[in-house]
């Protein structure tokens, strides 16, 4: 295993300290905890908190800042944070208007975030939660009941965060998050596995001419393995599954997220996006905004995912609202 780390047991702690050292204007770390909150606090607005296992950077700490998250909780690599960590994030980020928890649909995350919400409610904090399940690849998976929550989570951070920043109530912010969840779908693929530092070897093996279609962000199995084809053919495979959901139709407007898994060059992501744009145009679906880059990664995995979000006037306005975070800046 070749990794630019010091001690395996310290990778999350040192990563968070490095983020704070790089972006003190955005984030501060709660002492002794793997939790980042806004450096300037979050008074007078609904607070959004997300998180999960580390290894998906810049998710989730990279999205703490104006217009997106107020707090991010980092578990060990690919491991849910504990209820105590999430509770401390809630209490630190709470600005008096309530807290919305954005939870990816993984069993450990759901259980631990819900337990933390109950703990905070016992202290008089109003907490609501939403569960993201945008992955169309599989109905159930290694770590979930129901669909997995993957890169579409970034759109919930952005749009619900914008609603909170604009002064929305907790009920209004939750309603936006639920609308995004209802209209966002994702599917991914990989041409190589990731290596978890504590394990020291790739999480699965692919032959030189194989790809995995529909895998999860922790390397969970997808729907099938097949011989590698062109970028266009792989995009077709992913989009066919997404469009089969039946919620994207001629005349609709969508936002597109081409998300790298951590080890894929931007050149290849842009090539994938070219064909996504061509396919959607051919179906009469207008692309209102495209985002390309690494947003919900899987350590050093090579691959990408495609996310579509169906827009209405409200969602489009929130999508285009300003944001200022370490990993996402929009004037």
d(CA 255, CA 269): 16
d(CA 117, CA 119): 5
Instruction: Tell me which of 60, 157, 218, 275 is the catalytic residue.
Output: 218
Q: Is 218 an annotated catalytic residue?
A: yes
Contact present, 206 and 191 (Cβ < 8 Å): yes
Contact present, 290 and 256 (Cβ < 8 Å): yes
Across the strands, what pairs with 48? 100
H-helix or E-strand spanning residue 298: none
**Token pair listed for 104:** 């990816």
**Length of the chain measured in residues:** 331
Instruction: Tell me which of 56, 60, 157, 275 is the catalytic residue.
Output: 56
User: Dihedral (C-alpha) 311, 169, 102, 166: value to the nearest 10 degrees?
Assistant: 60
126: Cα separation from own chain's centroid:
24
User: Which residue in this structure is represented by tokens 């980042």?
Assistant: 36
Contact present, 136 and 147 (Cβ < 8 Å): yes
- Please name which of 172, 185, 184 lies closest in space to residue 314, comparing C-alpha atoms: 172
User: Which residue in this structure is represented by tokens 């997404």?
Assistant: 242
Q: Is 157 an annotated catalytic residue?
A: no
Contact present, 273 and 307 (Cβ < 8 Å): no
Across the strands, what pairs with 132? 104
Residues 6+ away with beta carbon under 8 Å from 32:
none
H-helix or E-strand spanning residue 98: none
Active site residue ranges: 56, 218
């Amino acid at each position: 295993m070749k990794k630019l780390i010091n001690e395996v047991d310290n990778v999350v702690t040192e990563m968070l300290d490095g983020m704070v050292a790089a972006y003190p204007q955005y984030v501060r770390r709660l002492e002794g905890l793997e939790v980042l909150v806004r450096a300037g606090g979050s008074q007078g607005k609904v607070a959004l908190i997300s998180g999960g296992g580390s290894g998906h950077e810049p998710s989730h700490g990279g999205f703490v800042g104006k217009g997106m998250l107020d707090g991010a909780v980092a578990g060990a690599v690919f491991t849910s944070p504990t209820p105590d960590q999430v509770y401390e994030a809630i209490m630190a980020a709470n600005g008096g208007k309530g807290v919305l928890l954005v939870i990816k649909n993984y069993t450990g995350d759901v259980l631990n975030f819900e337990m933390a919400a109950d703990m905070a409610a016992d202290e008089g904090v109003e907490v609501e939660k939403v569960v993201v399940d945008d992955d169309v690849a599989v109905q159930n998976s290694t770590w979930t009941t129901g669909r997995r929550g993957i890169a579409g989570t970034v759109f919930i951070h952005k749009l619900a965060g914008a609603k909170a920043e604009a002064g929305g109530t907790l009920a209004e912010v939750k309603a936006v998050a639920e609308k995004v969840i209802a209209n966002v779908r994702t599917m991914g693929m990989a041409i190589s596995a990731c290596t978890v530092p504590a394990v020291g070897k790739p999480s699965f093996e692919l032959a030189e001419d194989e790809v995995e279609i529909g895998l999860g962000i922790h390397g969970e199995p997808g729907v099938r393995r097949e011989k590698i084809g062109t970028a266009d053919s792989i995009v077709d495979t992913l989009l066919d599954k997404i469009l089969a959901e039946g919620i994207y139709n001629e005349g609709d407007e969508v936002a597109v997220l081409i998300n790298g898994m951590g080890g894929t060059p931007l050149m290849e992501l842009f090539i994938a996006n070219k064909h996504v744009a061509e396919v959607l145009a051919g179906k009469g679906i207008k692309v209102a905004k495209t985002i390309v880059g690494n947003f919900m990664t899987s350590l050093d995995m090579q691959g990408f995912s495609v996310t579509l979000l169906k827009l209405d006037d409200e969602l489009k306005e929130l999508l285009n609202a300003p944001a200022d975070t370490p990993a996402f800046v929009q004037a």
